[in-house]
C-alpha cells in the first residue's frame, strides 16, 4: 500500500532522488518554468497554515542505497532543483542512472556562466553538448531572466526562497518497494491510474487507519472493508440512470468525487485549483483532535451515509421524480441535502421539495404565452415539468423518467404541426408524404393526393425555365397548404394558429424529430407509435399527444385540430396548476 502525505520542499533536505533510464529526459519549456515561478511568487498565504501545493510526486525508496526513485514528477522536481541551485540552496540531490554527464552538468550549473544562445555556449563547451543539458540550460536561463526582469524593483530572492521552502508543498505518494517501477510509470503516464481526488483521499483514509493501535489482523480487515465499500460505491455510481438522478453534469474520472465534495468538511465547493478536495480532507485530518483511525471511521461513515440517502431516494418512485426534476431544472444536490437536514419527516421533506418545484412553476408565468420563438428554454422547461408531474400522477412505478437519456440525448422541441419553409424542404416533404400515403392504405387520401403529388414533382423535375419553375413552386406550395389544412384543420372558423405556441409543442429526441422532419400529423403519429414499440424512449406526454389522449372526443386520428390544441394546452395548465395539491 502506498504512503501519502503533504511534504514541504524544506523536508526534501538531504534526499537523494534518482531518475532511472526508463524515464524520458527533462523537457519543460521556458513557459512552463516561468509559470511555476509566477505561481509561487504570486501566492500570498492569508493564514499561517496556508500553502501552495504542487502536483503529486510518486517515489519508491531503493532498498540498499535508500535513494528515492522518481517514478512520476521528474519535471517538477528537476525545475525546483534548478531554482534552488540559482538561489544558492542545495536542499537535495538529483542523480541520473545512466546519464552521468547530465548529472554532472546539473550539479555544477550554478557555477557555469549560463548566458546567451545554447549554440554559442556549447561551441565554447563542446564536452557539455547533449539534449538533457540543452533543456537544463534553457530552464536555468529562464530562471535567471525571470529574477532579473524587473529592473526598478528586483524580485526579493530571500522572500521567494522562504515561500518555496516553507510555503510550497507537494503531494508525496510513496509506493512500496515491491512495486514494478516501469509498469507503474507506464500506467500513470497512459492515464490508466490517474491520481484523482478520489484516489488521493482513498489513500489518505487507508494510510491513517494504520496509525491506530489495532492488531494487524483487525487493521487489514478494516482496510479491506473500506476498500471494498469504496469500489462498490464507485461501481454503483457508474449506473447512468443513478448518476443523472443526482447530477445534471457529466462525471469526472471517478464518480465518488461527487460524494466526497458533499462532505461537511468541504466548506468551499467553488474553490478553484487542482486537488482542492484532497487538501480539504488533509487539512481536516491535521486539525482533528481525534485519533487517526477514528477520524477515518467518522469521515468514511459520513460519505456512506450520503450515498445510502441517495440510494433511498433513487428507489423511491416519488422522490426519484421530484428530486430528479429539480436537479435537471438546475438545483444542486447539496441544496437538496440541506433541505433534508432541516426536514422533520419524510413527508415534510417531500413537501419542501414540492414547494421548490412550485416556485419553478411560478417562474413560468402564463403558459398560454409560452412560445418556442420567444423563449425556447422556458418552453422546454414547461414540457419537462409537465411530463414529470404526469408520470407522478399516473402512479405507474414501472414508468420511470430516464434522466440519463434526457441529459445525454440531444432533445428538440417538436412542432406537432409543422410547415416546410423552402422549395428543397417542400420537395423532400412531398416525397416522404407520398411514401407514407401509399403505405397507409387510405384509398380516399391516395385518390385525393397521389396523382397531384406525382404531377407537381414530375413537372418541377423536368422544368428548367425560371418563370416555369416559379409557377410550379407556387403550385407545390398550394398543394402542401391544402394537405396541411386537411390534416390540421388550421382554417377552422375563428382560429388564429400560432405554430410556436405551447399547444403545438412536445418533447422529442432530435433523431426521431429530424428523421421525419416537417411531416404532417398522421405521418408523425405512425413514426412515434413505431418508435415506441421498438423501445425508443418517447416522453409520456409526447406519446399521449400522438395517441390523442388529451382529446376525449376526437373525430380523426389524422389531424391536429384547434380542438386538440385547446385540450392539450388546458391539460398542461391544469396539471401544473394542481401540482400544489399533489399527494
Instruction: Name the residue among 163, 160, 168 with its Cα closest to residue 7.
Output: 168
- Parse the chain into domains and list their residue ranges: 2-191, 196-315
Q: What is the DSSP letter of 580?
A: G
Characterize the bridge pairing of strands 16-19 and 52-61: unpaired
Helix (H) or strand (E) holding 562: helix 562-577
**H or E, element range at 7:** strand 3-8
CA 86, 87, 91: angle at the middle one, nearest 5? Answer: 100
Instruction: Name all contacts of 446-450 with Cβ < 8 Å and 24+ positions apart.
Output: 449/479, 449/483
What pTM, to 2 d.p., does this model score? Answer: 0.70
Can you give the pLDDT at residue 269?
53
Pair 520, 435: CB distance under 8 Å: no
- Rounded to an integer, what distance in angstroms lies between the CA atom of residue 171 and that of residue 8? 9
d(CA 56, CA 480): 66
Query: Which grid cell sits at 195?
Result: 491520481
pLDDT at 114: 84
Q: What is the pLDDT along the chain (583 residues), one digit of tens a residue?
A: 456 677 899 999 999 999 988 888 899 999 999 999 999 998 887 767 677 878 888 888 887 778 999 988 899 999 999 999 999 999 999 988 867 888 899 999 988 878 888 998 888 888 889 999 999 999 999 999 999 876 545 678 999 999 999 999 888 888 876 666 666 666 655 544 456 788 888 888 887 776 655 566 777 788 889 989 999 999 999 999 999 999 999 888 789 999 998 987 666 555 545 678 888 888 888 788 788 888 999 999 999 999 999 999 999 999 999 999 999 999 999 999 999 999 999 999 999 999 999 999 999 999 999 999 899 999 999 999 999 999 999 988 888 999 999 988 877 788 887 665 556 667 777 777 777 777 767 777 777 877 787 777 776 555 555 555 566 677 777 777 777 666 655 554 445 568 899 999 999 887 776 666 667 777 788 888 888 898 888 999 999 999 989 988 766 676 788 888 999 999 999 999 999 887 7
Half-sphere exposure of 64 (CA within 13 A, CB side): 0
Quick check: helix, strand or coil at residue 117?
Answer: coil
Give residue 191's pLDDT: 47
How many C-beta neighbours within 10 Å does residue 42 have?
A: 9
Q: Are 198 and 260 in contact (CB under 8 A)?
A: yes
Task: Give the pLDDT score at 524.
Answer: 83
Nearest CA to 174 out of 191, 195, 198, 189 is that of 195
Residues 385, 568: Cα–Cα separation, whole Å: 15
CA distance 419 to 424: 13
230 class by beta-carbon count within 10 Å (0-12 exposed, 13-18 middle, 19+ buried): buried
pLDDT of residue 513: 67
Cα angle, residue 513 at apex, residues 549 and 541 outer, rounded to 5°: 25
Amino acid at each position: 500500500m502506498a504512503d501519502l502525505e503533504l511534504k514541504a520542499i524544506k523536508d526534501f533536505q538531504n534526499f537523494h532522488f534518482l531518475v532511472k533510464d526508463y524515464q524520458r529526459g527533462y523537457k519543460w519549456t521556458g513557459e512552463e518554468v516561468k509559470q511555476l515561478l509566477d505561481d509561487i511568487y504570486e501566492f500570498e498565504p492569508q493564514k499561517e497554515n496556508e500553502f501552495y501545493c504542487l502536483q503529486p510526486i510518486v517515489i519508491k525508496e531503493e532498498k540498499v542505497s535508500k535513494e528515492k526513485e522518481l517514478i512520476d514528477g521528474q519535471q517538477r522536481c528537476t525545475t525546483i532543483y534548478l531554482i534552488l541551485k540559482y538561489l544558492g540552496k542545495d536542499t537535495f540531490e538529483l542523480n541520473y542512472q545512466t546519464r552521468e554527464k547530465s548529472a554532472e552538468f546539473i550539479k555544477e550549473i550554478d557555477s557555469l556562466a549560463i548566458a546567451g544562445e545554447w549554440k554559442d555556449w556549447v561551441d565554447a563547451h563542446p564536452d557539455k553538448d547533449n539534449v538533457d543539458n540543452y533543456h537544463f540550460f534553457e530552464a536555468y536561463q529562464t530562471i535567471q531572466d525571470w529574477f532579473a526582469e524587473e529592473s526598478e524593483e528586483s524580485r526579493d530572492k530571500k522572500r521567494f526562497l522562504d515561500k518555496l521552502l516553507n510555503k510550497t508543498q507537494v503531494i508525496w505518494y510513496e509506493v512500496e518497494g515491491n512495486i514494478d517501477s516501469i509498469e507503474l510509470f507506464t500506467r500513470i503516464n497512459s492515464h490508466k491510474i490517474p491520481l484523482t481526488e478520489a484516489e488521493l483521499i482513498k489513500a489518505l483514509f487507508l494510510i491513517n487507519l494504520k496509525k491506530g493501535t489495532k492488531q494487524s489482523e483487525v487493521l487489514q480487515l478494516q482496510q479491506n472493508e473500506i476498500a471494498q465499500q469504496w469500489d462498490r460505491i464507485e461501481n454503483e455510481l457508474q449506473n447512468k440512470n443513478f448518476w443523472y438522478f443526482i447530477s445534471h453534469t457529466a462525471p469526472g474520472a471517478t464518480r465518488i468525487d461527487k460524494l466526497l465534495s458533499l462532505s461537511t468538511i468541504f466548506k468551499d465547493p467553488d474553490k478553484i485549483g487542482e486537488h482542492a478536495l484532497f487538501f480539504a480532507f488533509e487539512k481536516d485530518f491535521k486539525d482533528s483532535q481525534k485519533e487517526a483511525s477514528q477520524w477515518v471511521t467518522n469521515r468514511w461513515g459520513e460519505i456512506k451515509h450520503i450515498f445510502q440517502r441517495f440510494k433511498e431516494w433513487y428507489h423511491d418512485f416519488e422522490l426519484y421524480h421530484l428530486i430528479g426534476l429539480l436537479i435537471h431544472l438546475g438545483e444542486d444536490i447539496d441544496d437538496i441535502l440541506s433541505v433534508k437536514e432541516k426536514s422533520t419527516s419524510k413527508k415534510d421533506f417531500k413537501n419542501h421539495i414540492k414547494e421548490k418545484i412550485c416556485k419553478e412553476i411560478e417562474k413560468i408565468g402564463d403558459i398560454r404565452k409560452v412560445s418556442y420563438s420567444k423563449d425556447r428554454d422556458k418552453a422546454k422547461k414547461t414540457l419537462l415539468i409537465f411530463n414529470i408531474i404526469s408520470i407522478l400522477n399516473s402512479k405507474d412505478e414501472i414508468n420511470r423518467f430516464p434522466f440519463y437519456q434526457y441529459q445525454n440525448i440531444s432533445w428538440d422541441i417538436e412542432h406537432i404541426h409543422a410547415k416546410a419553409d423552402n422549395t428543397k424542404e417542400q420537395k423532400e416533404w412531398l416525397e416522404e408524404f407520398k411514401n407514407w400515403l401509399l403505405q397507409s392504405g387510405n384509398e380516399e387520401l391516395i385518390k385525393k393526393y397521389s396523382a397531384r403529388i406525382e404531377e407537381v414533382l414530375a413537372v418541377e423535375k423536368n422544368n428548367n425555365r425560371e418563370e416555369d419553375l416559379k409557377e410550379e413552386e407556387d403550385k407545390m406550395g398550394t398543394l402542401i397548404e391544402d394537405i396541411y389544412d386537411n390534416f390540421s384543420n388550421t382554417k377552422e372558423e375563428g382560429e388564429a394558429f400560432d405554430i410556436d405556441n405551447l399547444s403545438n409543442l412536445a418533447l422529442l429526441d432530435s433523431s426521431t424529430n429530424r428523421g421525419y422532419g416537417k411531416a404532417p400529423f398522421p405521418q408523425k403519429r405512425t413514426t412515434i407509435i413505431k418508435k415506441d414499440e421498438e423501445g425508443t424512449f418517447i416522453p409520456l406526454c409526447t406519446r399521449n399527444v400522438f395517441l390523442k389522449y388529451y382529446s376525449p372526443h376526437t373525430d380523426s386520428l389524422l389531424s391536429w385540430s384547434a380542438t386538440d390544441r385547446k385540450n392539450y394546452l388546458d391539460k398542461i395548465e391544469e396539471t401544473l396548476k394542481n401540482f400544489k395539491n399533489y399527494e
